[in-house]
Every structure is written in structure tokens, then in C-alpha cells.
Amino acid sequence: MSTGNRLEGKVAIITGATGGIGEATARLYLDQGAKVMLVARSQEKLTALTKKLGGGENIAQAIAEADNEQQTANAVQATIDAFGGVDILMANAGTEGLVSPIENQTYENWQQVLNVNVIGVWLSMKYCVAPMKARGGGSMIAISSVAGMTGFPGVSPYTASKHAVFGLVKTSAMELAESRIRVNAIGPGPIDNRMMHSLETQM
């Protein structure tokens, strides 16, 4: 049952939509009247989530790897084609990487985590700026982590990437304020989702 329509007429993009935070956010946005573009890398999971959320004309989906520039640009364009614009970005896609002491970490793991958690957030923000400006403003929310505010042994790439998200958000907020685009970050603590289970298993 709907609890309001605060987002009536708004269009939202959610990256990492098939994860725990992504799904909960999609449900909330739809409940508040928004049109939602679900973005993730798995068609199977996108289809299942769309069905779980009830389908309908207010939901669309696009496949994109977070750190793939062309796929990200295509997802934003697909949102514009489907719903006429973009008002909200929830940059939620992320990866935990491997748990290992810093001396045993690999270049490949560092690169993957930074690509998804930092470059991926930047790319989604980059391609949402123009459509948000065209609508007279908007809101960007990036999911960081409590790990972006302190240190956690064994996950140096993840911790560094989440610190970087806060820096990216602070700078972007300053750059985009005159265009009436708000940019904020959320730093969740432990959440019962796939990522948390993966970290617990590795530790």
C-alpha cells in the first residue's frame, strides 16, 4: 500500500538494482510514485526483480557493468527514452573484492574494486548531469560505506574506494550546486545482503 507520492512525476535510475539496497530503494521509490530504471549486469536478476516489484509501466530495466562507459551511457539514454528524463540517480553498484592483508592483495583485485566502486559511481554521475540540468535540477545519491570513514583490516581496496566516493561526492556537490543538482553520499553499516555474507565467508 502506498504511503505517499513524494516522488510523483520523478524519474530515478538505480545502479546495482538487484542487490539488497538496490531492491529496497526501488520498492521505496515506486511506492512514492517515481518511475524507476533498474540497472544491473544480470538480465536474469533484472527480470526476476521486475516481476517481484509487480512490473508495470513505471519500471524499466537496462543491463550495464558499472565500470563500462558505453553501457552506462546507454542505460541513461534508455531511461530518457522510456520516461522522458532523469531526476534521481542512486549510484549503488559496488563490489567488496577479496579479503586479504595488504601484502597479499593483488593489482587485479585493487583495479576491479576501484573500477566498480569509484569509476562506476563517477560514470553514472557523469552521464546523468546533462539530463538533470535539462530538467532544472536533480538529486544524486552515492552509496559509500562506514568503511569510507574509518579503516577495516583485510579490505584495503574496498576501504580506499569508499573513502574515494566521499571525496567524489563532496567535489561534485560543489560543482553542481549552481545547476540545482544535489549530490549526497550514504555510508551504511553492516546490512544483511550478498556483500556482507561474502565478507563474512572470506573472514
Residue 92 has pLDDT above 50, yes or no: yes
**Residues 6 or more apart from 113 whose CB is under 8 A from it?**
95, 96, 97, 157, 158, 161
Q: What is the pLDDT of residue 188?
A: 85
Name which of 78, 70, 115 is nearest 93 in CA terms: 115
Residue 199 has pLDDT above 50, yes or no: no
Q: What is the pLDDT of residue 189?
A: 72
**Which residues are the active-site residues?**
158
Cα torsion 149, 104, 195, 40: sign: positive
Report the percentage of the chain scoring pLDDT > 70. Answer: 92
Neighbours of 44 (CB within 10 A): 9
Residue 15 has pLDDT above 70, yes or no: yes
Summarize the confidence of residues 132-147 as an average pLDDT: 97
Summarize the confidence of residues 132-138 as an average pLDDT: 99
- pLDDT, tens digit, for every residue of 34-90? 999 999 999 999 999 999 999 999 999 999 999 999 999 999 999 999 999 999 999
Q: What is the pLDDT of residue 3?
A: 57
4 assigned to some structural domain: no
**Total count of domains within the chain:** 1
6 assigned to some structural domain: no
- Residue linked to cell 559496488: 94
Give 193's pLDDT tier (boundaries 50, 70, 90).
low
pLDDT, the chain, mean = 93
Cα torsion 157, 158, 161, 163: sign: negative
Give 4's pLDDT tier (boundaries 50, 70, 90).
confident
Instruction: Read off the CATH number of the domain in which 183 is found.
Output: 3.40.50.720
- pLDDT, tens digit, for every residue of 153-183? 999 999 999 999 999 999 999 999 999 999 9
- Output the nine-digit C-alpha cell for 155: 579490505
104 assigned to some structural domain: yes
Name which of 169, 188, 17 is nearest 90 in CA terms: 17
3 assigned to some structural domain: no
Strand order in the sheet with 138-143: 59-63, 35-40, 11-15, 88-91, 138-143, 181-186
CA 123 to chain centre: 11
Rounded to the nearest 5°, which phi and psi values hold at 107?
-60, -40
Supply angle C-alpha 2, 192, 117, rounded to 5. 95
Find the domain containing 186 and state its range: 11-202
